[in-house]
Chain A
Amino acid sequence: MAGPSTRLRVIKLYKELHRLGREYPDENYDFNGKLRRMFEKNRNLTDPEEIEKALKLGEYIKNETLALYSLRKYRHLKRNYVIAPS
């Protein structure tokens, strides 16, 4: 890893993803396990470009997961609480 600021960014991303992973709807999908393994696989990166790429991938996964959660919730509420016009 290069530099303390990068370390902080990585830890921050990991914490956010871990917190998100606790609410994953499918119990059989080990989100937090996969998260840990993916981060550990990249622990020895030194090239700043590679690190940026990995961080971007992490951010992308975070946004995708957030979208999954909000869509799922919206669909559930729409199905159960909105009376479709007849």
Chain B
Amino acid sequence: MRPSTTRLLNILVPVKRAVDYAVKIRVNPQQTGVDLNVKHSMNPFDEIAIEEAVRIRERLPKGSEPVTITALTIGPPKSVETLRTALAMGADAAFHIELPETAPAPEPLGVAKAVQAIIEKQLNSVDMVILGKQSIDDDLGQTGQMLAGLLDWGQATYASKVDLDLEQKNAVITREIDGGLEQVCVKFPLIVTTDLRLNEPRYASLPNIMKAKKKAVTKLTPADLGVSFKPQMEVIKVTEPPKRVGGTKVESVDELVEKLKAAGFTAVS
């Protein structure tokens, strides 16, 4: 049999269990963060990342070498539900770096180092890491970029379109930037972070969730990988934004001018 020109494509997709987008968040009594006793789900940009990995597999012509999609999450025992969603959407296997319930949430640098350790110690070869551009609870948006720096790989962030060329071993990616779109060509292996317009994630149907229960989830501790999630940042205070005060109505232009003068606005000549 003639050897095929495409080879096994390995995609790693780290996902995060974050506060659900629909939750009305409240600052906690200690003013150190938000009340976390609320509904959590997979970060929406990570859903887009998993969806893109699955679509890459579906777009490849029939007869190509298979694509392996590995999901990864870092967090307390409950985070495994996020992995189940990823597996139900189409990932093949998953890793769970388990942290104790009481541990503080990992920071991007810690996450990037852990992903690097997984790539270097646990996986055979990774061609592409797809991450969400930011998580909707921290809004830090740093993990992808830090990972690219640690691994010394090329990166394409805020991707709204991804096209792979397996012969050339590179990817042409359209990025959402200020003022428009930018196209970059990045060699394998690479990091991609997803933006909203990349795709519309599929719904993980009940039969797929049942099938996902049979897929392998490997549990690891930070010690197994030799990484530490010691926080480098300390949150000093979290407060709500000032309540919006109502506006007032004025009866005439003169009244408006009086009110503006009283408020300290001076005329511009």
Residues of A within 8 A of B (CB): 12, 15-16, 19, 25, 66, 69-70, 72-74, 76-78, 80-83, 85
Contacts and interface: CB of A to CB of B under 8 A. Distances in A.
A74 B22 CA distance: 11
Contact of A25 (B22, B136, B195, B201): B22
A15 B206 contact: yes
Given A12-B206, A85-B179, 6 more contacts: A15-B206, A19-B206, A25-B22, A73-B21, A74-B196, A82-B196
A8 B112 CA distance: 46
A77 B178 contact: no
Nearest to B207: A12
A61 B243 CA distance: 39
A15 B44 CA distance: 24
B21 A74 contact: no
B206 A77 contact: no
Nearest to A15: B206
Interface of A is mostly: helix
Closest 3 CB pairs of A and B: A16-B206, A77-B196, A66-B203
Contacts of B195: 82
A85 B134 CA distance: 20
Contacts of B201: 70
A25 B20 CA distance: 12
A12 B196 CA distance: 32
B17 to A, nearest CB: 16
Nearest to B39: A23
Interface in B199-235: 200-201, 203, 205-206
Contacts of A73: 21-22, 44
B180 interface: yes
A12 B197 CA distance: 33
A74 B200 contact: yes
Nearest to A16: B206
A78 B203 contact: no
A50 B27 CA distance: 52
Interface in B166-197: 176, 178-180, 195-197
Interface in B113-152: 134, 136
Contacts of B44: 73, 77
B205 A78 contact: no
Nearest to B209: A19
Contacts of B180: 85
Contacts of B134: 81
Contacts of B200: 70, 74
B21 A16 contact: no
10 contacts: A15-B206, A70-B200, A70-B201, A73-B44, A74-B196, A74-B200, A78-B196, A80-B136, A81-B134, A81-B136
Interface string B17-46: 000011000000000000000000000100
Contacts of B178: 83
A77 B205 contact: no
A76 B21 contact: yes
B203 A70 contact: yes
A27 B180 CA distance: 39
A77 to B, nearest CB: 5
